[in-house]
Amino acid sequence: MALFEITIALLIIGALLAALARRLRAPYPAFLAVAGAVLASIPGTPTLTLSPELVLTLFVAPSLLDAAYDASPRDLRDNWLPIAGSAVVAVLLTIAAVACAARWLRPDMPWAVAVVLGAIVAPPDASAATAVLRALRPPHRVMVILEGESLFNDATALLIYRVALGVALGSWTGWIETPLLALSLVGGAVLGAALGRLWPPMIERIEDGPTSVIVQFVSTFALWILASRLGLSPILTLLCFAMALARRSHMGARLRLQSYAVWDVTIFVLNVLAFILMGLQLRPILAGLGGVDWQEYAIFGGSVLGVCVLVRLAWVMSYNTVVRWKIRRFGVRLPRPMTLPTVGTGLVISWCGMRGVVTLATALALPDGFPFRSLILFAGFAVVLGTLVVQGITLRPLMGLLRLPDDDQVGREVRHARQRAAEGAIAALAQEGSEPATLLRKEYDARLAGDGEPRQATQLLRQHRILALRTERRVIVELRAAGEIGDDAFHAIEEELDWAEMYVQRTLAHS
C-alpha cells in the first residue's frame, strides 16, 4: 500500500510540475529531475532503489517504440549522415574522451572501467530537448536529426558498455563473444522486422479498443524481454519492429484514435515517473558513498559533465562547418526542399545533449563490487542532472537568441496531401449523380477553394467554423440543462463536436 501511495503522490507532483514547466515554456524533465533530487534530500522521504532491468523495460521500451513508430524512414534517409555521425561517431568520441579524462583524474582506474563510464554517460536522451523544441517550431531538419539520433545512439553506447564491462570483469573472450555480439545486432534487427510484418494481421482481428491497447503494450514489453532472453539487442529489435509495424498496420479509425490517446498519456506518465525517480536516486547513491572525499567526487563528476558537453559541441560544429563549406564549394542537390545547415542549427543540435533514463539505468546495472562503482554512479547522476538543468533550462533562451526560422515543411506537406486527397474524393464522387453526392462534392470543392485562398482568409474561415462549433456546444449544454435531451444523447453529440473541432484546429495549425 505504501508503494501505491508514493506512486500516486509522485504522479500528482509530476503533473503539477509539468504544468508549471509548460507555463514557463521550460522542459518538464528538468523540473522533475530537480524535484526528485530535492525530495531525496528531505529527511523521511522513502528510499526507492530502481532495478536496472525494470527501468529499461518499463521506461525505455514504450518510449522507444512510440518514437520509432512515428519516425519517417524518408526523413531518416535524407539525413542519414548527420544522424549516423551523432548516433555513432559522437558517441564513440564521447566514450573515448570521458575515458581519457577519467584516467587523467584517477590514474588508478583501469582503462576498461573508464570506458564503461564513458559508455554510460555517452548517449543523449532527446525527450527533454524535443519537449522544448516542438513548441518553438525549429526547422524540421533539426527535429529529424535529434529524433533519429535518439533512436540509434543507445544501441551504440550499450554495445560498447557490454564489451567494456566484460573486459573489466574478466569474462570477455573475444574469439567467442565478438561473433555473438554481431549476431545479437543482426539477429535483433531481423527478428524485429519479421515480427513487424507478421504482427499486424493478428492484432487487427481485435475490434475492442481496450483489449487492443492492452495487447499493444504487452507485445512491446514481451518483445523487449524476448530479445533480452535470446541475447539479441532489444533496442534494435524494438526499433525495427516499430518501423515495420507502422508501414503495415491498417487499424480502424476508432481503434487508432483510442490507441493514440492512450499511448500519449502513458508515455507522459512514464516520463513523469522516470525523471522524478531519477532524482530520487540521489539518496541511495549518496548513501553508498560513505566517507569519501566530496571535493574529489565533485571535481570528477563536474569534469565528466564538461567533457560530455564539449565533445558533442566540438563534433556537431565541426561537422556543421565541413558541410557548410562543401555546400558553398560544390553546391547541393536536395531530394526535396529543406533547411540547409547553418551555424544556428548546429548550435541548437549540439546543445540538445541532455542525458536521461538509459544513462542512470546502465550505471545502476553495474554489479556490486565493480571497481569505482560509487564514483561512476555519482558521475552518471551528475551528468544526467547537470545536462537536464543547464542545457534544458537554457535551450529556449538559446533558440530565442538564434531566431531560427520555421521552414513549415510539415505544414506544406499537410496542405499538399489535403489537396490531393480532396481531388481524389471529388473524382470518386463524380460518378455519383445523387443529391447527397452533389452536396458532398460541393463540400470538397469548398475545401479545395479554401486551401487555395490566402493564408489570412483561410485562417479566418476556420476560426468561423470553430465559433460555429462552440455555439453548437453551448446549445446542447442548454438543451441538457433544460431537460430536452438526456446525457446519453448529449455525450454522443459532444463527441461528434469534439472530433470536428479537433479537425478544424489541426487544419488551422497547418494552414
Q: Helical H runs in 231-372?
A: 234-248, 253-280, 282-287, 294-330, 343-351, 357-364
CA 244 to chain centre: 18
The DSSP letter of residue 404 is -
Say how far apart CA 257 and CA 383 lie, in whole Å. Answer: 38
- SS3 per residue for 454-466: CHHHHHHHHHHHH
Instruction: Tell me the three cell numbers of residue 54.
Output: 525494470
Instruction: Tell me the three cell numbers of residue 296.
Output: 574529489
Provide the CATH number for the domain formed by 2-407 in this structure.
1.20.1530.20
pLDDT at residue 456 in the model: 52
Report the predicted TM-score, pTM, of the whole model to 2 decimal places. 0.85
- Average model confidence (pLDDT) across the chain: 82
pLDDT at residue 484 in the model: 77
pLDDT at residue 454 in the model: 47
pLDDT in tens, 164-212: 888 888 766 665 666 767 788 888 889 999 999 888 888 878 888 888 8
User: For the chain (length 511 residues), average pLDDT per consecutive 10?
Assistant: 75 85 78 82 73 81 88 86 93 96 93 94 81 76 90 88 85 64 84 90 81 90 92 90 84 78 88 81 71 80 95 95 90 78 92 87 84 88 89 86 80 73 74 72 72 54 72 83 77 78 67 56
pLDDT at residue 74 in the model: 84
Please choose, from the candidates 154, 390, 382, the residue with its C-alpha nearest in 3D space to the C-alpha of residue 281.
382
Say how far apart CA 506 and CA 442 lie, in whole Å. Answer: 22
- Give the DSSP per-residue string, 285-297: HHHTT-S--HHHH
Say how far apart CA 107 and CA 113 lie, in whole Å. Answer: 11
pLDDT at residue 178 in the model: 65
Sequence ranges of the domains in the chain? 2-407, 410-509
Please choose, from the candidates 496, 467, 464, 491, the residue with its C-alpha nearest in 3D space to the C-alpha of residue 477.
491
Say how far apart CA 174 and CA 225 lie, in whole Å. Answer: 26
